[in-house]
Amino acid sequence: MAFDRFQDFLGSLVKGQRRGFFSGNGRPSIDELLDKLMGNTGEVSAIVAARELLDDYIKSDDDAKLAFFNNLEQNYNADEVAVKLAYNSYSSDPSSTNLNRLSKTAEPRRLNLLRRLNQTPGATHDLVEMRSDLLKLLKDNPQLRAVDDNFVRLFKSWFARSFLVLQTIDWSTPAAILERIIRYEAVHEIKDWEDLRRRIQPANRRCFAFFHPALTDEPLIFVEVALGWEIPNSINSILTDTKAEDIEATDFTTATFYSISNCQPGLQHISFGNFLIKQVVLGLQAEFPSIKQFVTLSPISGFKRWLQSTPEDEASEITASKARIQQIENTPEAIEENAQLIEQLVFNYLLSAKKGKYPADSVARFHLGNGAMIHQLHTAADTSEKGLAQAHGTMVNYLYDLRYIERNHERYVTEGTVEYNDKLKPLVIKP
Amino acid sequence: MAFDRFQDFLGSLVKGQRRGFFSGNGRPSIDELLDKLMGNTGEVSAIVAARELLDDYIKSDDDAKLAFFNNLEQNYNADEVAVKLAYNSYSSDPSSTNLNRLSKTAEPRRLNLLRRLNQTPGATHDLVEMRSDLLKLLKDNPQLRAVDDNFVRLFKSWFARSFLVLQTIDWSTPAAILERIIRYEAVHEIKDWEDLRRRIQPANRRCFAFFHPALTDEPLIFVEVALGWEIPNSINSILTDTKAEDIEATDFTTATFYSISNCQPGLQHISFGNFLIKQVVLGLQAEFPSIKQFVTLSPISGFKRWLQSTPEDEASEITASKARIQQIENTPEAIEENAQLIEQLVFNYLLSAKKGKYPADSVARFHLGNGAMIHQLHTAADTSEKGLAQAHGTMVNYLYDLRYIERNHERYVTEGTVEYNDKLKPLVIKP
Amino acid sequence: MAFDRFQDFLGSLVKGQRRGFFSGNGRPSIDELLDKLMGNTGEVSAIVAARELLDDYIKSDDDAKLAFFNNLEQNYNADEVAVKLAYNSYSSDPSSTNLNRLSKTAEPRRLNLLRRLNQTPGATHDLVEMRSDLLKLLKDNPQLRAVDDNFVRLFKSWFARSFLVLQTIDWSTPAAILERIIRYEAVHEIKDWEDLRRRIQPANRRCFAFFHPALTDEPLIFVEVALGWEIPNSINSILTDTKAEDIEATDFTTATFYSISNCQPGLQHISFGNFLIKQVVLGLQAEFPSIKQFVTLSPISGFKRWLQSTPEDEASEITASKARIQQIENTPEAIEENAQLIEQLVFNYLLSAKKGKYPADSVARFHLGNGAMIHQLHTAADTSEKGLAQAHGTMVNYLYDLRYIERNHERYVTEGTVEYNDKLKPLVIKP
Amino acid sequence: MAFDRFQDFLGSLVKGQRRGFFSGNGRPSIDELLDKLMGNTGEVSAIVAARELLDDYIKSDDDAKLAFFNNLEQNYNADEVAVKLAYNSYSSDPSSTNLNRLSKTAEPRRLNLLRRLNQTPGATHDLVEMRSDLLKLLKDNPQLRAVDDNFVRLFKSWFARSFLVLQTIDWSTPAAILERIIRYEAVHEIKDWEDLRRRIQPANRRCFAFFHPALTDEPLIFVEVALGWEIPNSINSILTDTKAEDIEATDFTTATFYSISNCQPGLQHISFGNFLIKQVVLGLQAEFPSIKQFVTLSPISGFKRWLQSTPEDEASEITASKARIQQIENTPEAIEENAQLIEQLVFNYLLSAKKGKYPADSVARFHLGNGAMIHQLHTAADTSEKGLAQAHGTMVNYLYDLRYIERNHERYVTEGTVEYNDKLKPLVIKP
């Protein structure tokens, strides 16, 4: 029933107005458009200016984009005098009203500028792309971090979880969306449409994605799930399972999350994954009451770097193990022979390699921070080039046990505690 | 394809967790829930607390609601010391970074509280209801205006125009939505379903509404339109046109917006109407290239009050006319006899009665502010009790001419200029 | 994704062609259109002729319609000579090929005529209406029964069960469909939209309908269901249950089918109800595994007529009971006082009043023929005027027990056996 | 709103019943199932038997399938005595009623058998597959043609045009459907998903398909269209047009139908293409009023065979041309050098090669029979291996001019007239 064409109509309005609007005086510069946008012009003019500006921005080269962001950083702050006055009032009477006024006065004008840009059709998508550009510029232009902070502030509000829609991705999903799933898969590459079909069509495979109503056809994040009767001990057994299609069972006992991919670089640090997994766990539990075990099958992306480092305070047993492993050939055969040693070292990497009080491994940080726990390790589980390079082919299951995720999460946040299955205890190397 | 049931699943999670979560210590108070919500608990706990809090709020009586809002006003401001420090940094170095920090520090914690509440399913709807309660309390509790300011700030962001969806409302619309159209119609009451059908099913009637993806089945605002070949001179001819159903024409020349209703009291001052009309004009223009005239048929709601007042600087001719009109019986017959006099006085009311530099009449303010102009007046156009009481039955057409709305809007905003059709010039009473 | 507008486009083609097509020679008569339709003209011409013919038919008065049907009866039979030849071939060699040829040759041309009419958009709907007219004419024009036979033959094929779609009717159903549900309800009148809402929105009420893809928005048959924990003993308790809306339970044990309405008079004798009930039973069983009992709450529509008759071979006890009941005042109070007597007589009516070997009561024939059995009787269950008039307010539950419906159905078909609950045995009056 | 799951529920019923139903006596044979199906069993039993039978049929090997069809041919004819009696009645009184009776009595029982099979969910799909098998057996088993006749008779009724739905196929179409478009393309192979995308996503490419509501996700026939400003002179320029994606124009003047594929072998001779093209012409005309020319770009599939034949009465000039062409190397270069000669011969092939009074070329028969005319020829238009082999790379445009298609169609049907563009006249070789 949605009257989609109105979006097009608005598009034509904007185009129509644009021609008329600027007809007298040639094409305005981005700066003129910014003035127009932030001025007291009528609403349609502002929309036209916003659209024009976004279109111009998209066509700009890197230098022009940098100049645009620098302009935002330098010229869209606040009125210092007004801030001073607002602060003085607040300082002498810290009432709610005075605080509100100070808060508004001290708000960088950049925020309002981005909000106004977002009043034109399709703008949300363009702004997410814009931030993607900005993130690339940050390294060489640290001053732009202030601009990025403002993007983040708005995006957190615009992508509030209550606005997100969870959808199943399957073989009846429009090709326009599936095409993006192929493109955005970041963990285990989807080679082609046939490969995709194997991951979403069989009765023992599932895929779920979050969407935002303003980003048509654009998934924000998606997770791929394999259903079965035991925890798979290798990623290959999932990706190349050609018998999957014949399965008609509904009495699965285990769900394995084997791939989670963020789709929008421009939404970095706006976290969706935490919630996605929990929502999918609940959904699967409702559909398959027989599923009792929800685990990931995750890569151990930071192991290699850790292996090659030697922190001062490292337990000597670990240092020794590292040396031994580095002498082992990185082939499936050699790995199998030394499985026990590798497993132990990888586990101790997850336990002891830290960034602050939290694990150094980014995937571990994500799942443990969500309240999951380390459940099991599998050597020779990913013998692809990438898998061998990352962690000598080892993979790990993080277990999502709804009964404990809150407790685990709180311990993790406050203490940095890494919960793990008791069976793994013998592997711990004490410092 | 939307996986709607997940919302239900999440609902059951929240219910499940709730029981377990608080099982040890009885039912927590709203204040305890607020602490839980704002603390460093895990995400699921926060969602549970938010849901619990919203449910408790809904069941609260007026006193408890007032106490809740007072709590927000008094205890969810900012950390004064932190604000002072942030201001000092900014004051000595007004960099973007320092401004960002000040802006964040000076943000009332209420904003964050409302954002966190909005992380639980269905919360947006509950928060809109919450503000509806708040608005009723404002008159007797002016201190809560600070809280309302924060609601408005968030709602402007959450109901950004790029997130809204325009839908046609017709006889194939789900009953759950139509039921609300009946309930929310605020200008010309919809008596029953048959009355509704007459307004949305015939080929010469249209209805359009804005929806927000997070408010299922809840229109935000809607407009009713009559299509034809001339400007209707009475609202009755629109509402009781029983021949409408036989019309199959598509060569209409005139679209009349005869009713615009805001649906959500909790979204007061979050304006949608301006844009709705323009978008509908564009849509109709694309569907019916033959339509050349877009007008409203609007009530003149403030005339009666103005009639009974006598401002000091009023033109003596106006004062005299007022006196004459007040002696006329307020019946269709008497009105028809004195049509010219009434028309003139109503027109001069629209021109000269002011609130600041803008018209005193709220409907006039809305349409003129949108860039429309006064096009024509019709006496005896609404002879319902309400119509007679408001303006002796007179109604007015505001004309939306896309070529001039930007110009009109700018003149109106800057000068308060009220544009009108040249043909009306002879009616002007000079002061 | 359906390209609905093409239907409109075709409509315009037909309109466009029509003008051009017949431009030279004025408006053709229905007979000329029939020739055009059955001739060797091109496809578009045939579609145009079909559409024109149907439009003309619709506007015809009763006499013209009768003439049209008489024309079909008299002039659209078969080529007698060809039939003779085909029969002779078959007679001398009854091969499959010869049978096929005879079968085609002996097919009345009416069938082909109706098939050709059905090639134009919207024709199915018009043909169902056409048969509805035909049925009214049958009584006074028994010769048209042959035409009706041909309609039935085609409709059975066009409304094959595998083409039907079952849909839930609830408060999110388009108003255009709900309006028809109100109109078509034939058992317990739906007074207005509020009455409808009470039947489809609460969690313990359900409504299901069969649709055919070619009849847009037109239900073929629908059934209304009340869910609860016991068999309701009065229809009033279902229709006016104002607490229904508060029920959130999902542990219902009993589903009561309290109204089944055929919607299309033109589809008389094309039976859908049998299958509808069974499909709904299966659906509800899957959604609510706790439901163990599926019953109807049905009127006893033929009791009154039977009461007033005295068949020759009637058991004297029955004749005596009849006399006693007829002396009882037909008021709820009097009925309650004589409940036992009424219950017994009604039950024996269902058992012994026959039309051939089957029950005389049409509702009983329907449910018993489906394999249901008489489960329980309720006196004073429908104290509406209609209910009192039909069976002194008595209603009956037919029980659908999936384990036995096949067995019951077969016994009913072959022997006319009426199955009933053992508890009712004491009520039986032996002849 | 469709209650899809009911199909599943019914599925489970059938499975459930099946087990119980036949539990006592082992698995029934197909013949026993046929008896069950045609007997007086209850409805659910019949559905169960139908489903069981279809499942068994699908798993059968070729011999068993042949036996099944032979059984249908031999044992599901009519009751000879009853036919004789019915004929005698008709013969003595050829009334409508007697004709109806004869028609029913003489109907092969096979028809009823197929109709009963079609009462179980999914049966339509299985029956279409069944006929596909049957068609393969016809050549060696001509007696089965009688069975095929009955399939055709039913399918014509079941796939009545008023039941078909036209849908656009584009990049938002579910993958499950697109996958079939790739598979079913019969004219110019779709190599992979990227190739498909190029044909359906760009603004100057369109694809439309007919669907039947009972065949989920299964297109019946589809047509691919290229929009532009002139008639393309080679298929390659359409298939490899990489600039297509940049086109935003809407002022196209020419629509070229460059591929039409039937999807269901089991629906052979149930014609959809005729109507598809006309409906698409109308739809495109409504969307793009600027399009004035609707042409095909079609292969000339029978030219090669004709080239190698020498009919007795062939014009000597043609025989000579044939000889010359056969000496030309079949390469693009050689073809270009002899373009005039090839063009002339191909044109005269289309004109003079006959099968009865109609053209020998099957593609020509299709389009000319639809009322199109030969518009233009293009040598070296399809230099693929297939294109060179078929007609030395020549292709032809058939023009659909709505003003003349009826006239052309009638002339073609009655006289076999092949209409062509006047400009081609000089190419005609008189016999």
Using a CB-CB cut-off of 8 Å, the residues of chain B touching C192 are 192-193
Nearest to B173 among C174, C179, C192 (CB): C174
Q: Hey, is A356 helix, strand or coil?
A: coil
Question: CA C404, CA C408: separation in Å to the nearest integer?
Answer: 6
Q: What's residue A263's pLDDT? A: 95
Count interface pairs A-B at CB distance under 8 A: 227
Q: What's residue C231's pLDDT? A: 93
Q: Write down the pTM of the prediction.
A: 0.88
| Disruptive mutation site among D172, D218, D248 for chain A (greatest number of A CBs within 10 Å) | D172
To 10 degrees, what angle do helices B30-38 and B43-59 make?
150
Nearest to A96 among B5, B73, B286 (CB): B73
pLDDT averaged over chain D? 88
Question: CA C180, CA C177: separation in Å to the nearest integer?
Answer: 5
Return the residue of C nearest to B197 by Cα.
C175
Query: Which of these, A244, A266, A246, lies nearest to A256 by C-alpha position?
Result: A244
Render pLDDT for C279-295 as a digit per residue (tens, 0 to 9).
899 889 888 889 999 99
Nearest to A1 among B40, B167, B279 (CB): B167
Of residues D385 and C272, which shows the higher confidence score? Answer: D385
pLDDT above 80: residue B102: yes
How far does Cα C394 stand from its chain's mean position?
A: 23
Question: CA C328, CA C321: separation in Å to the nearest integer?
Answer: 11
Render pLDDT for A266-321 as a digit per residue (tens, 0 to 9).
999 888 887 899 889 988 988 888 999 999 999 999 999 999 988 888 889 999 99
| Interface contact flag, A5 B286, Cβ < 8 Å | yes
Query: What percentage of chain D carries pLDDT values higher than 90?
Result: 66
Return the residue of C nearest to D123 by Cα.
C162
Query: Which of these, A197, A208, A192, A203, lies nearest to A259 by C-alpha position?
Result: A208
pLDDT above 70: residue C14: no
Question: Position of tokens 């963020």?
Answer: A262
Question: CA D159, CA D212: separation in Å to the nearest integer?
Answer: 7
Render pLDDT for D367-405 as a digit per residue (tens, 0 to 9).
998 889 999 999 999 999 999 999 999 999 999 998 888
For chain A, give every domain's residue range.
2-158, 162-296, 303-427
Q: Hey, is C92 helix, strand or coil?
A: helix
Q: What's residue D16's pLDDT? A: 47
| Interface contact flag, A175 D193, Cβ < 8 Å | yes
pLDDT averaged over chain B? 88
| Interface contact flag, D193 A192, Cβ < 8 Å | yes
Using a CB-CB cut-off of 8 Å, the residues of chain D touching A183 are none
Q: What's residue A257's pLDDT? A: 97
Q: Nearest C-alpha of chain D: how many angstroms from C186?
A: 24
Using a CB-CB cut-off of 8 Å, the residues of chain D touching C113 are none
Decide if C2-158 and C303-427 have a common fold: no
Band (C313; pLDDT cuts 50, 70, 90): confident
**Which chains reach chain C with 3 or more Cβ–Cβ distances below 8 angstroms?**
B, D
Band (D23; pLDDT cuts 50, 70, 90): very low
Q: What's residue A54's pLDDT? A: 93
The two tokens of residue A155 are 């995006």
Of residues D11 and C345, which shows the higher confidence score? Answer: C345
Question: CA D6, CA C285: separation in Å to the nearest integer?
Answer: 11
Which CATH fold topology does D303-427 show? Answer: Aminopeptidase (3.40.630)
pLDDT above 70: residue C304: yes
D69: enclosing H helix or E strand: helix D62-75
The two tokens of residue D6 are 């009911």
pLDDT above 60: residue C6: no
Render pLDDT for C73-96 as a digit per residue (tens, 0 to 9).
999 999 999 999 999 999 999 999
Return the residue of A nearest to D216 by Cα.
A172
Q: Hey, is A396 helix, strand or coil?
A: strand
Render pLDDT for B171-227 as a digit per residue (tens, 0 to 9).
999 999 999 999 999 889 999 999 999 999 998 999 999 999 899 899 999 999 999
Query: What percentage of chain B carries pLDDT values higher than 70?
Result: 91
pLDDT above 70: residue A373: yes
Whole-number Cα distances in Å, D388 to D185, D256, D299, D341: 19, 21, 10, 15
Question: CA C166, CA D121: separation in Å to the nearest integer?
Answer: 12
| Disruptive mutation site among B14, B100, B169 for chain A (greatest number of A CBs within 10 Å) | B100
Q: What's residue B192's pLDDT? A: 94
- Spell out the alpha helix ranges (H) of A39-122: 43-59, 62-75, 80-92, 96-105, 109-117
Q: What would the mean pLDDT of C113-130 be, rounded to a whole number?
A: 91
Q: What would the mean pLDDT of A38-57 be, rounded to a whole number?
A: 81
Of residues A16 and C352, which shows the higher confidence score? Answer: C352
Of residues C39 and B382, which shows the higher confidence score? Answer: B382
Using a CB-CB cut-off of 8 Å, the residues of chain C touching D100 are 108, 146, 149-150
Query: What percentage of chain C carries pLDDT values higher than 70?
Result: 91
CATH architecture of C2-158: Up-down Bundle (1.20)
Q: Nearest C-alpha of chain A: how many angstroms from D165?
A: 18
**Which chains reach chain A with 3 or more Cβ–Cβ distances below 8 angstroms?**
B, D
Q: Do C257 and C212 touch, CB atoms closer than 8 A?
A: no
Q: What would the mean pLDDT of B143-152 be, rounded to a whole number?
A: 97
- Determine phi and psi for C224, rounding to 5 degrees: -110, 140
Q: What would the mean pLDDT of D260-272 be, rounded to a whole number?
A: 91
| Interface contact flag, A172 D176, Cβ < 8 Å | yes
Nearest to A43 among B121, B172, B275 (CB): B275
Band (B1; pLDDT cuts 50, 70, 90): very low
pLDDT above 70: residue A355: yes
Nearest to C213 among D163, D274, D371 (CB): D163
Q: What's residue A122's pLDDT? A: 82
Nearest to B175 among C171, C192, C217 (CB): C171
| Interface contact flag, C2 D165, Cβ < 8 Å | yes
Q: Do A163 and B159 touch, CB atoms closer than 8 A?
A: no
Of residues A402 and C113, which shows the higher confidence score? Answer: C113
| Interface contact flag, B172 C171, Cβ < 8 Å | no
Band (D247; pLDDT cuts 50, 70, 90): low
Q: What's residue D202's pLDDT? A: 92
Q: Which amino acid is at A89?
A: S
Render pLDDT for D28-85 as a digit per residue (tens, 0 to 9).
788 888 888 888 666 667 777 888 899 999 999 999 999 999 999 999 999 999 999 9
Which CATH number is B162-296 given?
3.40.630.180
Q: What's residue B246's pLDDT? A: 60
Using a CB-CB cut-off of 8 Å, the residues of chain A touching B123 are 162
**Which chains reach chain D with 3 or more Cβ–Cβ distances below 8 angstroms?**
A, C
Q: Hey, is C336 helix, strand or coil?
A: helix
| Interface contact flag, B174 C171, Cβ < 8 Å | yes
Render pLDDT for A226-260 as a digit per residue (tens, 0 to 9).
999 999 989 988 988 766 556 667 789 999 999 99
Question: Position of tokens 């200008």?
Answer: B187
Question: Position of tokens 């001990």?
Answer: A233
Q: What would the mean pLDDT of B243-257 be, rounded to a whole number?
A: 79
Q: What's residue B27's pLDDT? A: 67
Band (A119; pLDDT cuts 50, 70, 90): confident
Band (D2; pLDDT cuts 50, 70, 90): very low
pLDDT above 70: residue B41: no
pLDDT above 60: residue D220: yes
pLDDT averaged over chain C? 88
To 10 degrees, what angle do helices B123-138 and B109-117 make?
140
Band (D21; pLDDT cuts 50, 70, 90): very low
- Spell out the alpha helix ranges (H) of C22-61: 30-38, 43-59
Question: CA A255, CA A258: separation in Å to the nearest integer?
Answer: 9
Question: CA A404, CA C173: separation in Å to the nearest integer?
Answer: 42
Provide the CB-side half-sphere exposure for B7 (13 A, CA): 15
Q: Which H, E and C letters describe chain B, residue by residue?
A: CECCHHHHHHHHHHHHHHHHHCCCCCCCCHHHHHHHHHCCCCHHHHHHHHHHHHHHHHHCCHHHHHHHHHHHHHHCCCCHHHHHHHHHHHHHCCCHHHHHHHHHHCCCHHHHHHHHHCCCCCHHHHHHHHHHHHHHHHCCCHHHHHHHHHHHHHHHHHCCHHHCEEEECCCCCEHHHHHHHHHHCCCCCCCCHHHHHHHHCCCCEEEEEEECCCCCCCEEEEEEEEEECCCCCCHHHHHCCCCHHHCCCCCCCEEEEEEEEECCHHHCCCCCHHHHHHHHHHHHHHHCCCCCEEEECECCCCHHHHHCCCCCCCCHHHHHHHHHHHHCCCCHHHHHHCHHHHHHHHHHHHHHCEECCEECCHHHHHHHHCCCEEEEEECCCCCCHHHHHHHCCCEEEEECCCCCHHHHHHHHHHHCCCCECHHHHHHCCCC
Q: What would the mean pLDDT of A19-41 be, rounded to a whole number?
A: 68
| Interface contact flag, B174 C176, Cβ < 8 Å | no
The sign of the CA dihedral C362, C367, C368, C370 is: positive
Return the residue of C nearest to B172 by Cα.
C174
- Determine phi and psi for B407, rounding to 5 degrees: -60, -50
For chain C, what is the total number of helices (H) and then of strands (E)? 20, 9
| Interface contact flag, A120 B162, Cβ < 8 Å | yes
How far does Cα C405 stand from its chain's mean position?
A: 20
Return the residue of B nearest to A166 by Cα.
B3
Using a CB-CB cut-off of 8 Å, the residues of chain A touching B168 are 1, 3
Of residues B262 and D245, which shows the higher confidence score? Answer: B262
Q: What's residue B8's pLDDT? A: 46
Question: CA C391, CA C237: separation in Å to the nearest integer?
Answer: 18
D386 by Cβ neighbours in 10 Å (0-12 / 13-18 / 19+) ranks as middle
Render pLDDT for B299-358 as a digit per residue (tens, 0 to 9).
999 999 999 888 888 889 999 999 999 898 888 889 989 999 999 999 999 999 999 999
pLDDT above 90: residue A10: no
A210: enclosing H helix or E strand: strand A205-211
List, in order, residues 6 or more apart from D392 with CB less than 8 Å away. D303, D325, D328, D330, D335, D342, D346, D379
Give the gyration radius of chain A's Cα atoms: 26
Band (D347; pLDDT cuts 50, 70, 90): very high
- Counted residue by residue, chain B has a size of 431
Q: What would the mean pLDDT of A378-403 be, rounded to a whole number?
A: 93
Nearest to A108 among B100, B124, B161 (CB): B100
Question: What ipTM was reported for this prediction?
Answer: 0.86
Q: What's residue A173's pLDDT? A: 96
Band (C248; pLDDT cuts 50, 70, 90): low
Q: What would the mean pLDDT of A46-71 be, rounded to a whole number?
A: 92
Q: What's residue B184's pLDDT? A: 95
Question: CA C178, CA C222: separation in Å to the nearest integer?
Answer: 11
Q: What's residue B242's pLDDT? A: 63
| Interface contact flag, B3 A409, Cβ < 8 Å | no
Band (A378; pLDDT cuts 50, 70, 90): very high
B110 by Cβ neighbours in 10 Å (0-12 / 13-18 / 19+) ranks as buried
Q: Do D73 and D144 touch, CB atoms closer than 8 A?
A: yes
